Amino acid sequence: MSAPGAGQGFEVNLADLERCANQSVQQMIAALDQVLAAWPSDPVPMIEAPGTAAGSDLVIAVQGLNGRLLERQRHGREATAATRQALLDIHDVYRRADQQTGASYGG
């Protein structure tokens, strides 16, 4: 594909662009797979200080923060998983289009 630009021509190799896009999508999916596999699923370890009022207050405060952290972890994991699924869906659409048109997305 060629088009004029500032008095000179430029050329875009669509096959190279498609290859790069395909590799990028696959690399992003692989990276998200790694992130999801390593995602923490457990709360922050609890601390205990039995027998002291300050220790008890600290445990209650940590439990509250722990609950918030778990909620944020859950939301983050859901967003990451949704992003991964969207990339897989995009990848699948291109593959099906290739099958119908005989083109080569490369995936």
What's the structural domain count of the chain?
1
Residue ranges making up the domain that contains 89: 13-101
Q: Is residue 2 part of a domain?
A: no
Q: Is residue 66 part of a domain?
A: yes
Residue 10 β-bridge partners: 3
What CA–CA distance (Å, rounded) separates 85 from 29? 8
**47 pLDDT exceeds 50?**
yes
Q: Is residue 43 part of a domain?
A: yes
* pLDDT tens profile 7-31: 455 565 667 666 766 678 788 888 8
pLDDT band at 35 (very low <50, low <70, confident <90, very high): confident
8 A C-beta contact, residue 34 and residue 56? no
In sequence order, the 6+-apart residues with CB closer than 8 A to the CB of 24 are none
Q: Is residue 94 part of a domain?
A: yes
Mean pLDDT, the chain, whole residue set:
74
